[in-house]
Amino acid sequence: MSTPTTRPTADAAREAVQAAVRHVVPDADFDYVDDDTPLRGEFELDSLDFLGFAETLASRTGVPIAEADYPRLATMATCVAFLTGARDGT
């Protein structure tokens, strides 16, 4: 029997997303990035950068992120919703 994943709060998810982006783009500035801005475009994340972002995010939050989930990591808003389970009811 598997143990359910404990989901982070919205604030913790937001902090984790910022930290994961900064892991691959150390000088990333979120001061003027709104919640609906595509992260890949804003921070010029190529495929390898995005993979590093997703792996770091999963490691920091404990939330499993499969390749099929990558579209749900498009913006800060969609990342927070995915990580907290807001859209899928988990």
Contacts of 84 (CB under 8 A, 6+ apart): 7, 8, 9, 10, 13
Residues β-bridged to residue 38: 75
- Per-residue pLDDT at 50 exceeds 50: yes
Closest CA to 57 of 24, 17, 26, 11: 17
What is the structure's pLDDT at 78? 97
Q: What percent of the chain has pLDDT over 70?
A: 90
- Per-residue pLDDT at 2 exceeds 50: no
pTM of the model: 0.88
What is the structure's pLDDT at 6? 83
